[in-house]
Structure 1
Amino acid sequence: MWFSKPQEDVLKELKVNPRTGLSSQEVQARLEQYGANKLKGKPKKSLISLFFAQMKDMLIYVLLGAAIITLFIGEYVDAIIILLVVLLNAAIGVFQEFKAEKAIEALQQLTTPKTLVRRDEEVKEINSVDLVPGDIVILDAGRFIPADLRLIESANLQIEESALTGESVPTEKEAQRILDEPKTPLGDQANMAFMSTLVTYGRGEGVVVGTAMETEIGKIAKILDEEIDEMTPLQKRMEELGKILGYLAIGICLLIFVIAFFQKRDLFEMFLTAISLAVAAIPEGLPAIVAIVLALGVTRMSKINAIVKKLPAVETLGSVNIICSDKTGTLTQNQMTVVKYYTLDNMKELPREGSSLDAASQEKELMKTFVLCSDATYEHGQGTGDPTEIALIVLGDRFNLTKKSLNANHKRVGENPFDSDRKLMSTLNEEDGSYRVHTKGAIDNILNIATSALVNNQVVPLTEAMKNEYLKIAEEMSDDALRVLGAAYKDVDHLITSEEMEHNLTVLGMVGMIDPPRLEVKDSIRDAKLAGITPVMITGDHKNTAVAIAKELGIADSLAQSMTGAEIDEISDEQFAQRVGELRVFARVSPEHKVKIVKAYKSQGNIVSMTGDGVNDAPSLKNADIGVAMGITGTDVSKGAADMILTDDNFTTIVHAIEEGRNIYNNIKKSVIFLLSCNLGEIVAIFFSVLFFWPIPLMPTQLLWINLITDTLPAIALGVDPGDKDVMKQKPRDPRESFFAHGAALRAVIGGVLIGTLTLVAFYVGLREYGYTLGSATIPDDVLTYSRTMAFVVLAASQLFYSLSMRSATKSIFTVGFFSNKYLILAIIVGLLLQLMVISVPFLSSAFKLQMLSLRDWGIVLSLAIIPLIVRELFKIFQRKSS
């Protein structure tokens, strides 16, 4: 490991002289050996291969079989509709997959176009893709790191690594350090610089030790490149349902045909009936309905600032019971903010919001020193430079001490730049003909070089008691995970050197700053917990800081609920998986740790959501059941790897999206159970008429017509049913539970048996009106036509009415609101009008062998049709009273 080797050994191993750099010939040779410094992605799949991949599904096979059968029996319109459903389903899948895999391309765009290197004894600017191991790279503020480097020189060098490590504060780099610990986290590798991080301060030089896929970013790219073909719970349910329906359809065909053979019926007529019933038994609109419901859900979610890239992710959200969230920029604001300031015996907390605050003159002197002793800028809500210094300038702005006005009135005439050994920075500013030194830095270092303190606007000697008090307050701030900075000054009457600045200072006080939590996140976390969802923080930041934020947000209660990346490495995967349920905070973790954490939760049967915005989050976003990227602060890499993007970077939106996901799954379930009830009703009516050697109550064309009416509009209307307000008071759905759990199968069976039985009753009533019974030997065609018309109306109308009771498994239609789903009411009205049209329009009634009913019989059939709805509503009342 490069960070554990001395510079001399690294340079010797890479065969390079840092003063001259590599020669052009050596560069060319190494370029051929190692390749271009460019991240690689897996070969793209063609649209044709993506299309055929979508066709590998049991339900699709059954639908294609149904299309062939309907073509064979001459139902060309129905065959076309089935084929269109199959093609639509495949096209949606192709589109989603084609758009989804953009993470590697985004990673490639992160590489820096140009970089400064020393080659052939001179410094030159080259394309970063031409870098090779052994190249000497020159670094200065504002430059991105073009490859992984072992630093060989550093002067006040600070590198912002939040996209890779998750730390919000730039890391101080020291080229001379040698780290012996073999498992040192990325954030602690002070002698290394990593590809795609940013130099924010100082300068340095480094030798390239890794390019392209051998960099830390490259390791992330490899993880993203892995195929993860795990199906979502909905896809598993649909595959399971498809197999059941496929086998059921084949079984029905064979059974009815065998029974008819032994009954010596007209085999061709029974063959057509069996085939029609098998087609009716399969809700061929199911894939399209699921896709439509999901697509409409995606549209609704976009209105609440959640952009879903993959349709199944909508449903997966409803199953989520673990939300793993990155800290920096997701739970926090990703900007250092001063929250407390202290002058001797006077601690004050800053309000989160507000400007033009008042302060005592001594406090203003404290802030004035912090603003003047900084190199950052902040204007119009945008800052440049070190985030800590930006926070100090923002502090000054809030007290009307702007950087611009102070610099204009107190010109800087000298400075002693920040140094990681001194941990201090000082500036010399001209003030009304005299000069003042402004110093900021570590409070203990300031106390070592100070001789006095400003107390109540009076300069007094600095005593040991005062020093202890300053240090005590600083320790208390640190315990609260605040970063502490002290300030001091001294007045001089002439220009002095930088070495003379930091002596005999007067202590002003100190400030405590933190990357604060987002204001709305605490409420969202509480809502998530009430919904049975466990929030977990995963960050590259230090343990104490992470736990302090987690406590404030309500994620964790104590330090015992946290674990560092180094501690994860010390235990086996099995031990970690057993312990992971007790933990709420993971600190100082690498990208590999994040993936390990997500996998550990998944191994315990959890459905895991991972949120994040940095490059370091991308592998875990991809491995999670649903990855959620931040749209504003998120990198292209994280967006490419995620299933969902939050356009407002608001953690609260995740909770709203989960609520939407739960309702969408419930709506899909309503549609499926409704379709199965309807189709079971058709099976019951036909199967029992064949079994008991009765006349067939419905002809093949009539079955297919009813199937088309009930499998489309009412099922889609149920799929867009308004959400249940109480859905977030329930626990997340167990991902292993059956699609027919909680009495869904029983509801489907009861509904189907009722619908089928009442269809036979209507058929029987029609025969009795003409003096015939179900057992009559010969029945005239006109009597059969009239009786079948009655059965035809009851079968369709009962299904349409029954859809109203499917809106809730426990609440009555009046509780949920009879007219709250206007689409369903419209679907029922349209369905009834279509039934009336096919009966009353001569050429349609002739084609379908139907005839107009008398007013009395319309009353009978509609009365019979409403019975399943009434029975279901009465059953709900019984359920509520018994629970």
Structure 2
Amino acid sequence: MYYQKKVKDVCSQLNSSEQNGLTQEEAKKRLEQDGPNTLVEKKSKTKLQMFLSQLQDTMIYILFAAAAISIMLDEVTDAIIILIVVLLNAIIGMVQESKAEAALEALKNLSSPSAMVKRGGKIVEIPASELVKGDIVVLEAGRIIPADLRLTQTVNLKIEESALTGESVPVDKSAEYVAEGDTGIGDQINMAFSSTSVSYGRGEGIVVYTGMDTEIGKIATMISEATEELTPLQKRLNDLGKVLGIVAIVIVAAMFGIAVLQGRDMVEMLITAISLAVAAIPEGLTAVVTIVLALGVTRMVRVNTIVRKLPAVETLGAVSIVCSDKTGTLTQNKMTVLKVYFDGISKDVKELSYDDNKVFNNGFILCNDASTANNSRIGDPTELALLDMGSLMNVTREGLEGQMPRINELSFDSARKLMTTVHKDNNNNVMSYTKGAMDILLKRCSRILINGETIKITENHINEITTAAGEMAKQALRVLALGIKENDDSASEEDLTFVGLVGMIDPPRPEAKNSVLEFKNAGIKTIMITGDHKDTALAIAKELGIADSESQCITGNELNEMSQEELNKIVNNLRVFARVSPEHKVMIVKAFKSHGSIVSMTGDGVNDAPSLKAADIGVAMGITGTDVAKGAADMVLTDDNFSTIEKAVAEGRGIYQNIKKTVLFLLSSNFGEVISMFTAIAAGLASPLQSIHILWINLITDSLPGLALGVDPKDSDIMDAKPRDPKESLFANGGLIFTVYNGFMIAALTLGAFIWSPVQHLTAAGQSVTLEGIKLMLQDPDILMHAQTYAFTTLGVSQLFHAIGMRNYNKSLFKMNHLENKSMLLAFAVGLLLQIAVTEIPFLTVVFETVRLSLKEWFNLILIAMIPLLSHEIVVGFKKIIRNK
């Protein structure tokens, strides 16, 4: 580990010179040997590959089989309708996922395009891709680090590493530091990592890792190796497809058995068997679910969420663990002064006024290199926080410097941990301000300013100051001290007068606390994962209600000592993970998933990308998020607001609920078709439905109300329920009984309508109504067509009424607000008009082999078709009686 070695030892190991670097010849040789300093790109899918991937589904395979058999039986119309549905489904899925995985491309774009290096004793600028191990890289403010470096020289060097480590402030670097043991990335202060940036100072470093061997390269490897897992809904639908496939095969076999026993025509029975198999499979289901998810994407946009992958909509609704990065997600990613101390008193910054202590206020605002002029924020986050403190009092650095210009300064140095500026006012009074680490500055103070009077500092004063600083530290505040020196323009940092302290932190988002509480009420655990220090992380976690005690917090160094299995055993007792690396984040996600939890991971930095990929659903920040994080995520929050995740979870739950209603509606309808046809054929009757009738109902009459169910507004109490079991079947909680019950009811109505016509003819002829008599009547083509028209119409319209009740099968129709789902009213109207069209428009009656019906017949059939609504009220009333017992 290079951070455990001295500079001279690293240079010796890599056979390089700190003063002269490598020769051009040696660099060329190493470049040929190790390859360029670039990230290996993952080959992206072509549009054709994305389209074909949409077809890899059990239900799709069954539909292809049904289309092929239809063509063999010369039922071309049926085959065309089926293939149109398959094509529609594939196109919708491809459009939603056409934004190919851009994570590695974004990582590549983060790479520095050029680097300043020492080659043969001269400083030259070369493409970053030509860097090799042993190169000496020159660093200055604003430069992107082009590779992983062991720093060899540092002068006030600060590097912004938040995208890699999650730490909210730039890191002070020191080339002299040598680590004694294993140290996390965030604490390797003698290292500089590829794709981070120099925010202050200058330095030099020797290249120790390039390309895929860098820390950023390791992240790229983890992203590329991450496997795409099926969502709970995809697993359920795949299982359903397999079951329906088995059902279709059993039906065909049963029909052939019946054909043999009844001595029927085998070809005729094959066509009938295929029709039954088609009836068992809801052809519109895959397309409807895909469209419902696509419509769900639109709904998510309204809550500031962009969905990159359709299944993510449903997955978010099943989440039981929300792993969140701290900086910028749970916090504001903006250092803020919360506490101040002067004149022996600690107070909240909001209580501060400019006239309280002008020396205190002037000192922290003037001893500052940051700027907030012209609506821009330039400089170190700590110094910006001090300027923000000034803005609370309507005081700016530019305004004060107009009255007290800077005449001398001593820049901040990481070794001294102090900064000094000297100012002269219009009366030629000179004031020197020094700010920095309290323990360092206090040792240089011989006096203290109390209520405008300068007196000798005593042990009691020091104890009071230390106590005040300790109280701030307990709240995980970063403490800065201020000292002054009057009438001395030398910028001396000795014999100072102590003035006061400020305590600052990157504070929690105000709305995040309520969201954590809402998640807790919904049975969802919020987990904080951060690269920041333990004390800071735990303080924020306690304030947000994520953690209660230190025992719920663990650090990256502790994780280094654990295996995956050991972490799996204790992970459910942990709430805060501090000072962690990208590898740790993936490890944590895997640990929670090992307990069957559906895990969401939120983040914005490059370091979050592997865990975003590893989680069941990755959620990236849209404003502060890096392109890498967005590329690896399933969803992006456009407002970077943690509370938006809560709204998205509620939407996800509602969408899953709607999909479940849609699936149960379609399956109960199809089950009714199967039972009605199977019963009629087993009884020796003609088929009550033709295959084109079944396809029409499955694709049109069913699909329209199915889509309307898919956009039903979510229940107001949807976040009161615990997360559903990811292994939960679509038929759980009475879904199977519901499907079977409604299927039998629809079958009874369809069969009743089918035999109604032959019964009428038997009655009119004065003949007794018997099964044999009905069989004979149905041998007449005209009577059969009339009977099938009755069955076809009753089946289609009854399912439209059934859909209305499906909006909420636990609530009376009279207590539903039907106007809140206008799509259902429209679907019902359009469905009814289409059903009328296929029996009344001459061209369509020929295609569908139906007969025109009289107004009386329509009235009677609609009355029969309304029975599902009556059934709905009876079932709801029965459930209410049971609940009240």
With normalisation by structure 2, the TM-score equals 0.96
Give the letter aligned to residue 776 of structure 2.
Answer: T
2:716 to 722, 725, 732: 725
Which residue of structure 2 lines up, in the alignment, with residue 293 of structure 1? 292
CA-to-partner distance for each residue in 1:115-143, whole Å, 9 max, x for gaps?
22111212122221111111111112222
- In 2, Cα distance between equivalents of 1:700 and 1:188: 70
CA-to-partner distance for each residue in 1:724-770, whole Å, 9 max, x for gaps?
11211111111011121111111111111000012112223322211
CA-to-partner distance for each residue in 1:758-797, whole Å, 9 max, x for gaps?
2112223322211154321521333333333322222111
In structure 2, relative to structure 1, the CA distance for the partners of 1:670 and 1:251 (3 Å cut) is: same
In structure 2, relative to structure 1, the CA distance for the partners of 1:370 and 1:603 (3 Å cut) is: same
Check whether the contact 1:362–1:457 (CA below 8 A) recurs between aligned residues: no
Check whether the contact 1:104–1:637 (CA below 8 A) recurs between aligned residues: yes
In structure 2, relative to structure 1, the CA distance for the partners of 1:300 and 1:422 (3 Å cut) is: same
Please list, as runs of the form range in 1=range in 2, the aligned pairs for 1:635-714 lying within 5 A after superposition. Answer: 635-714=626-705
User: Could you tell me how far 1:848 is from its partner in structure 2?
Assistant: 3.3
In structure 2, relative to structure 1, the CA distance for the partners of 1:31 and 1:809 (3 Å cut) is: same
- In 2, Cα distance between equivalents of 1:46 and 1:339: 52
- Secondary structure, aligned partner of 2:772: coil
Q: Greater shift after overlay, 445-454 or 293-302? A: 445-454
Check whether the contact 1:694–1:775 (CA below 8 A) recurs between aligned residues: no
2:460 to 448, 458, 465: 465
- In 1, Cα distance between equivalents of 2:276 and 2:6: 79
- Secondary structure, aligned partner of 1:502: coil
CA-to-partner distance for each residue in 1:321-362, whole Å, 9 max, x for gaps?
1000000011111111101111133222124xxxxx862535
Give the letter aligned to residue 471 of structure 1.
Answer: T
| 1:219 and 2:237 aligned | no
In structure 2, relative to structure 1, the CA distance for the partners of 1:758 and 1:128 (3 Å cut) is: same
User: Could you tell me how far 1:381 is from its partner in structure 2?
Assistant: 4.0
1:369 to 363, 366, 383: 363
- Secondary structure, aligned partner of 1:775: helix
User: Could you tell me how far 1:223 is from its partner in structure 2?
Assistant: 0.3
- In 2, Cα distance between equivalents of 1:502 and 1:843: 98
Give the letter aligned to residue 177 of structure 1.
Answer: Y
| 1:101 and 2:101 aligned | yes
Which residue of structure 2 lines up, in the alignment, with residue 280 of structure 1? 279
Give the letter aligned to residue 171 of structure 2.
Answer: T
- Secondary structure, aligned partner of 1:517: coil
CA-to-partner distance for each residue in 1:200-259, whole Å, 9 max, x for gaps?
222211111111111110100100111412111111111111111111112212211320
Which residue of structure 2 lines up, in the alignment, with residue 354 of structure 1? none
Give the letter aligned to residue 117 of structure 2.
Answer: V
Check whether the contact 1:631–1:648 (CA below 8 A) recurs between aligned residues: yes
Which residue of structure 2 lines up, in the alignment, with residue 576 of structure 1? 567
| 1:423 and 2:417 aligned | yes
- Secondary structure, aligned partner of 2:851: coil
- In 2, Cα distance between equivalents of 1:29 and 1:629: 41
Give the letter aligned to residue 239 of structure 2.
Answer: E
Give the letter aligned to residue 379 of structure 1.
Answer: A
Which residue of structure 1 lines up, in the alignment, with residue 776 of structure 2? 778
- Secondary structure, aligned partner of 1:770: helix
Which residue of structure 2 lines up, in the alignment, with residue 178 of structure 1? 178
| 1:21 and 2:21 aligned | yes
Check whether the contact 1:767–1:774 (CA below 8 A) recurs between aligned residues: no
- In 1, Cα distance between equivalents of 2:415 and 2:847: 94
User: Could you tell me how far 1:300 is from its partner in structure 2?
Assistant: 1.3
In structure 2, relative to structure 1, the CA distance for the partners of 1:606 and 1:559 (3 Å cut) is: same
Check whether the contact 1:324–1:608 (CA below 8 A) recurs between aligned residues: yes
2:735 to 744, 764, 772: 744
Q: Greater shift after overlay, 119-128 or 574-583? A: 119-128
CA-to-partner distance for each residue in 1:257-285, whole Å, 9 max, x for gaps?
32023212233333222212211221111
Which residue of structure 2 lines up, in the alignment, with residue 452 of structure 1? 447
- In 2, Cα distance between equivalents of 1:358 and 1:569: 44
In structure 2, relative to structure 1, the CA distance for the partners of 1:399 and 1:848 (3 Å cut) is: closer
Give the letter aligned to residue 413 of structure 1.
Answer: I
| 1:325 and 2:324 aligned | yes
- Secondary structure, aligned partner of 1:835: helix
| 1:316 and 2:315 aligned | yes
Check whether the contact 2:407–2:422 (CA below 8 A) recurs between aligned residues: yes
- Secondary structure, aligned partner of 2:860: helix
Percent pairwise identity: 52
Q: Greater shift after overlay, 248-257 or 591-600? A: 248-257
- In 1, Cα distance between equivalents of 2:126 and 2:385: 35
User: Could you tell me how far 1:679 is from its partner in structure 2?
Assistant: 0.8
Which residue of structure 2 lines up, in the alignment, with residue 402 of structure 1? 396
- Secondary structure, aligned partner of 2:153: strand
Which residue of structure 1 lines up, in the alignment, with residue 765 of structure 2? none
Which residue of structure 1 lines up, in the alignment, with residue 78 of structure 2? 78
- In 2, Cα distance between equivalents of 1:212 and 1:400: 49
In structure 2, relative to structure 1, the CA distance for the partners of 1:153 and 1:708 (3 Å cut) is: closer
Which residue of structure 2 lines up, in the alignment, with residue 414 of structure 1? 408
CA-to-partner distance for each residue in 1:347-401, whole Å, 9 max, x for gaps?
22124xxxxx862535221121112111121224432221111111221222232
User: Could you tell me how far 1:166 is from its partner in structure 2?
Assistant: 0.6
Check whether the contact 1:320–1:606 (CA below 8 A) recurs between aligned residues: yes
Please list, as runs of the form range in 1=range in 2, the aligned pairs for 1:474-553 lying within 5 A after superposition. Answer: 474-492=469-487, 495-496=489-490, 498=491, 501-553=492-544
In structure 2, relative to structure 1, the CA distance for the partners of 1:126 and 1:408 (3 Å cut) is: farther
Check whether the contact 2:353–2:393 (CA below 8 A) recurs between aligned residues: yes
Please list, as runs of the form range in 1=range in 2, the aligned pairs for 1:695-844 lying within 5 A after superposition. Answer: 695-771=686-762, 772-776=769-773, 778-779=776-777, 780-844=780-844
Check whether the contact 2:44–2:101 (CA below 8 A) recurs between aligned residues: no
- In 1, Cα distance between equivalents of 2:50 and 2:847: 41
| 1:382 and 2:376 aligned | yes
Give the letter aligned to residue 436 of structure 1.
Answer: M
Q: Greater shift after overlay, 37-46 or 2-11? A: 37-46
Please list, as runs of the form range in 1=range in 2, the aligned pairs for 1:123-138 lying within 5 A after superposition. Answer: 123-138=123-138
Unmatched runs of 5 consecutive residues or more in structure 2 = 763-768
Which residue of structure 1 lines up, in the alignment, with residue 432 of structure 2? 437
- In 2, Cα distance between equivalents of 1:312 and 1:602: 18
CA-to-partner distance for each residue in 1:147-194, whole Å, 9 max, x for gaps?
111011112211111111110121111111110112x00011111111
Check whether the contact 2:431–2:489 (CA below 8 A) recurs between aligned residues: no
User: Could you tell me how far 1:602 is from its partner in structure 2?
Assistant: 0.6
- In 2, Cα distance between equivalents of 1:121 and 1:854: 100
User: Could you tell me how far 1:51 is from its partner in structure 2?
Assistant: 3.5
Give the letter aligned to residue 609 of structure 2.
Answer: A
CA-to-partner distance for each residue in 1:630-689, whole Å, 9 max, x for gaps?
010001110111110111111111111111111111111111111111111111111111
Check whether the contact 2:446–2:496 (CA below 8 A) recurs between aligned residues: yes
User: Could you tell me how far 1:720 is from its partner in structure 2?
Assistant: 1.2
Check whether the contact 2:117–2:124 (CA below 8 A) recurs between aligned residues: yes
Please list, as runs of the form range in 1=range in 2, the aligned pairs for 1:5-154 lying within 5 A after superposition. Answer: 5-154=5-154
User: Could you tell me how far 1:491 is from its partner in structure 2?
Assistant: 0.7
Which residue of structure 1 lines up, in the alignment, with residue 240 of structure 2? 241
User: Could you tell me how far 1:519 is from its partner in structure 2?
Assistant: 1.4
Check whether the contact 2:432–2:489 (CA below 8 A) recurs between aligned residues: no
- In 2, Cα distance between equivalents of 1:92 and 1:850: 33
- Secondary structure, aligned partner of 2:439: helix
Check whether the contact 2:45–2:100 (CA below 8 A) recurs between aligned residues: no
- Secondary structure, aligned partner of 1:99: coil
Unmatched runs of 5 consecutive residues or more in structure 1 = 352-356
Give the letter aligned to residue 385 of structure 1.
Answer: G
- In 2, Cα distance between equivalents of 1:707 and 1:75: 17
With normalisation by structure 1, the TM-score equals 0.96
Give the letter aligned to residue 496 of structure 2.
Answer: L
Give the letter aligned to residue 400 of structure 1.
Answer: N
Which residue of structure 1 lines up, in the alignment, with residue 872 of structure 2? 872
